[in-house]
């Protein structure tokens, strides 16, 4: 389902798409195929259904907050929970769209847009320097998870209170998490992702993008996530290769800082697993009643594996979106994947983004539901 916010967000970009000037590929800008994409009765039915689901989800989530059925509305107050949810949602939308631009713009010569998009030029100059893109992606993922947890604490039900006042349909949407999934995916993720994937320069030409970039870099520099580097090294070593870097080798002081942060991150990761698994075994999470503990643990690791695979696929697809067709055909499976993505009049990539984001949002919220330990 195409989110209606996606259509509403297109108008500023349709006549101002910078990639129309940088690339001659027919699918590189919405203006080339937009008139022929959504003029069928079925497409209008999909948009109407999507809009109805979005409005219904917003009403259900807002009602849950105003009835003081969420954690923040109970522990703090209703206005704080409502404002926190929308602020986190707006920042989440900005962070989700920035990934498409940061991953998709490296192949483009920055001198081409230095004058026309000065803010985007400075963002890319810093974000693409050395290994900063990897650092950005790591910090960005932490931001996404943190913002999703804030949204979940603000808008998701904290218990069964008020369930008797809901209709059967609203109770199903709330208890299953479907309302939060649709609300977050359509309002806070899909619209900016799809728009930014086609209008990368215009989207990056914002000071908010600059702030987001520096926040993600600060998160990475803290060392909280450096265990991921260790996993990366182990995987590449098992594959018979080495991690390639765009920076000179680290000196002794940089090695001390790096491995010290790796040790800190690994310790935090082990502690987080211990706390989460202990809470699961002791039944101290907000998991749905009646699910065996073993099933909850399997679900935890399965959902994390699915999210990891989908996140890696998104980054890879953004990266190959601007390489030549000859380079895409270097591998049989890569060629088949690219034919699905970039064929079908350019609908493959946005279609993947929409389906992927719904899956990721569902995994995030189900993980929040089953593994969250309320204070």
Q: Please choose, from the candidates 129, 100, 101, 125, the residue with its C-alpha nearest in 3D space to the C-alpha of residue 111.
A: 125
Q: Of the segments 124-128, 308-312, 367-371, which one has the largest average pLDDT value?
A: 124-128
Q: For residues 79-105, give the mean pLDDT.
A: 88
- Residue 239, number of CB atoms within 10 A of its CB: 8
| Residues whose CB falls within 8 Å of the CB of residue 90, separated by 6 or more in sequence, listed in order | 188
For 232-271, what is each residue's pLDDT tens digit? 888 888 877 787 888 888 899 989 999 999 999 999 999 9
Tens-digit pLDDT profile for residues 350-362: 677 778 777 877 7
Which tokens belong to 26? 């027919």
**Least confident piece of the model among 5-14, 324-333, 336-345:** 5-14
**Do residues 317 and 8 lie in contact, with contact meaning Cβ atoms separated by under 8 Å?**
no
Q: Which whole number is the average pLDDT over 61-81?
A: 87
Residue 158 to residue 161: CA distance in whole angstroms: 8
Q: How distant, in Å, are the alpha carbons of 93, 213, 236, 296 from that of 139?
A: 15, 9, 21, 28
Residue 368 is predicted with a pLDDT of 60
Q: Cα separations (Å) of 184 from 53, 156, 188?
A: 12, 11, 5
């Amino acid at each position: 389902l195409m989110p209606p916010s996606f259509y509403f967000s297109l108008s500023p970009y349709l006549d101002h798409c910078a990639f129309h000037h940088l690339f001659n590929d027919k699918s590189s800008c919405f203006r080339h195929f937009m008139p022929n994409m959504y003029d069928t009765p079925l497409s209008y039915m999909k948009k109407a259904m999507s809009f109805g689901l979005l409005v219904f989800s917003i009403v259900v989530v807002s009602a849950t907050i105003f009835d003081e059925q969420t954690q923040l509305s109970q522990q703090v107050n209703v206005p704080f929970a409502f404002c926190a949810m929308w602020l986190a949602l707006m920042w989440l939308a900005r962070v989700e769209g920035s990934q498409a631009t940061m991953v998709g713009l490296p192949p483009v010569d920055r001198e081409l847009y230095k004058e026309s998009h000065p803010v985007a030029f400075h963002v890319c100059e810093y974000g693409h320097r050395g290994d900063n893109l990897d650092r950005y992606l790591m910090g960005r993922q932490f931001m996404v998870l943190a913002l999703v947890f804030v949204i979940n604490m603000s808008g998701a039900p904290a218990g069964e209170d008020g369930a008797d006042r809901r209709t059967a349909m609203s109770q199903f949407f709330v208890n299953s998490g479907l309302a939060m999934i649709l609300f977050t995916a359509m309002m806070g993720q899909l619209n900016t992702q799809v728009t930014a994937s086609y209008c990368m320069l215009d989207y990056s030409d914002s000071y908010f993008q600059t702030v987001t970039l520096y926040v993600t870099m600060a998160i990475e520099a803290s060392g909280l996530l450096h265990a991921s580097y260790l996993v990366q090294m182990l995987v590449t070593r098992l594959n018979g290769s080495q991690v390639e870097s765009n920076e000179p080798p680290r000196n002794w002081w940089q090695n001390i800082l790096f491995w010290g942060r790796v040790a800190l991150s690994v310790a935090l990761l082990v502690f987080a697993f211990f706390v989460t698994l202990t809470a699961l075994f002791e039944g101290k999470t907000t998991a749905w009643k009646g699910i065996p503990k073993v099933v909850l643990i399997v679900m935890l690791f399965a959902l994390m594996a699915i999210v990891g695979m989908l996140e890696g696929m998104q980054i890879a697809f953004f990266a190959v979106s601007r390489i030549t067709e000859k380079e895409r055909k270097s591998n049989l499976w890569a060629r088949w994947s690219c034919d699905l993505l970039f064929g079908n009049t350019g609908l493959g990539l946005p279609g993947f983004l929409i389906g992927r984001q719904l899956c990721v949002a569902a995994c995030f919220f189900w993980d929040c539901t089953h593994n969250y330990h309320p204070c």
